[in-house]
Amino acid sequence: LEDTRSCVIKGPGYAWQHNSAMHTSLRHEAEILSYLEPNAHIPALYDLIEQDGDLFLVMQDLEGETLDMRMANQRKLGYCSLQQALAWMIELADILEHIHTQGVIYADVKPSNLIVNSQGQIYLIDFEHAHHFEEQGFKGGTPGYMSPQRKKGQVGICLLYTSDAADDLTRV
């Protein structure tokens, strides 16, 4: 990068170097991030770089800690307040609505994919499982956080949302 923006570089780990599946995943994540309209709670994609046969995503650095880390630290001091938990849920629902109105399903809502900054604001990270509504039969997400319907591979339309969008909201 030519300017002084703080960034995160996401690339293959040692075991995944020169792996075509990892390249496909990184290209997909870059495509989703570049497709989404800018939002203060989603990292900006700065670049997708190919270097020595590997791909690297260069994204905005969102300062803070993951929600699962925050909760582990919080347990030492006592649990977070109901008011804080509700504020995070509302903020996350707003972020998911922003994504859904653009025809994208996130598909992997879980505490380790949420960053909480020092002001308590939530950011959604890790878009490798995100996909467009029209992508039928997409398999992705973390098993422990999937709805029963997703685990069974059931898809369809549910009221105003596809079942995938409803799954995103169920995870909140």
- Active-site positions read 108
Place of tokens 């549910």: 158
Gap between the Cα atoms of 140 and 54, Å rounded: 23
CB–CB of 53/18 below 8 Å? yes
Kindly report the three-state secondary structure assignment for every residue of the chain: CCCCCCEEEECCCHHHCCCHHHHHHHHHHHHHHHHCCCCCCCCCEEEEEEECCEEEEEEECCCCEEHHHHHHHHHHHCCCCHHHHHHHHHHHHHHHHHHHCCCEECCCCCHHHEEECCCCCEEECCCCCCEECCCCCCCCCCHHHCCHHHHCCCCCEECCEEHHHHHHHHHC
